[in-house]
Amino acid sequence: MESEGGDFPRPTEAVAELIKAGASFVLTAPPESIAEVNRAVMHPIGMEDVVGDPDLLAMALRMNEGNLHHWAASNVARPGARVPVNVTDEAIAFVRDVVRRGFDAGALDSFRTAQNASWRLWMQICFELTDDPAALRELLELTSLSIATFIDDTVKELADQINVARAELAGDTHAQRRAAVALILEGAPVSPARAEAQLRYSLQGPQQALVIYGEAGVAPDNLEEICEAIMEASGVTRRLTVLAGAAELWVWLPTEKLILSEVLAANPTVRVAAGSLGHDREGFRRSHFQALEARQMVTRLGSELSFVAYDDLALMSAMTDDLAKLDGFVAHTLGALTTADTAIVESVRTWFASECNASAAAARLYTHRNTVVRHLARAQELLPRPLEANATAVAAALEVLRWRRAD
């Protein structure tokens, strides 16, 4: 190998062809290979900040996949040459989100994790390309340096961008407000007067926390408009808002009454997670953490419902973090009822919610009492065990099923 400049080597002609062939394979790698890299990135150790934030995680996965393809495409064009950093618009958005969320360069650890997973994939490819020991050694040595250098350069560039973004956001009122909110959420002994002065919001009285978030492409201004619409519908004139990311707002409303169904119906790309109603400083904190938990839980469950309240998901959250185990519980408890007509399932669930009163359930479903009775009878036929012998488990399984179904 000759030097390409500095300590970065130039491959021999034969190894350059091997690199080009391997890189071409990476560009057409099957989805399961990319999925393996993604699974490695999602490993929770040291990655809690990113893995625990659905938007940030989705961005990190797309960037890691983009970096893998960028490295491969560069090596098809110039085998073995130093690969330039791939700073995209999404990378800049990722950096700004990292800063807005209060994270530091540790959020870039996903790139290191992806490097290890990508290297395992690349080694498998290399061992398929040649069985010549000398060529294989040169191939592995050069590409190991290439991948490591590319990731080092990428992480350094993004870390520099984080420092720039921090400086830019130093005077950002959203960033300042988030810092003040973080102290309250952490339980810091900030006096009520100082807290109210910093937040311009009172921690006394009712506290209803919301997380308002949108699909990719929803602008922060759109979320602000939705928040204003919810306030108007609920008769609220004050609020506290923190821009938590490019498509996520944290909101607190001083109200015991929340009305938002019509607002969300008119804005299908926006979703809301709500904590339980709280009071004063502790209620401010608890309601927010509940809203975050509800948002994360509904994302894990795969539900596309536009509104979720923590009270509706508290049971499932307490049951297990293992979705496969949760689905197994539903299948075991409900049997054939799991795949029954939605109207039958909803009748039984509403019957439980109506204190097992068929007339009350019918009123809530806008149907006839006899329809509910027929649905209950059909459910009895489909359940693996008599309803009266397993009522608590059936009620819990129906709640899980409600959220696991996308509709």
The pTM assigned to this predicted structure is 0.50
> pLDDT (tens digit, 9 = 90+) per residue, 66-114?
888 999 999 999 998 899 998 887 787 777 777 666 666 666 776 777 7
pLDDT at position 46 over 70: no
Beta-carbon contacts of 242 under 8 Å, excluding residues fewer than 6 positions away, are: 174, 177, 178, 181, 249, 250, 251
pLDDT at position 47 over 60: no
Which contacts of 19-23 are long-range, i.e. CB under 8 A and separated by 24 or more positions? 19/75, 19/79, 19/80, 19/139, 19/142, 19/143, 20/75, 20/76, 20/79, 21/129, 22/75, 22/122, 22/125, 22/126, 22/129, 22/139, 22/143, 23/71, 23/72, 23/73, 23/74, 23/75, 23/76, 23/79
Tell me the torsion sign for CA atoms 246, 195, 272, 63: positive
pLDDT at 19: 94
pLDDT at position 3 over 60: no
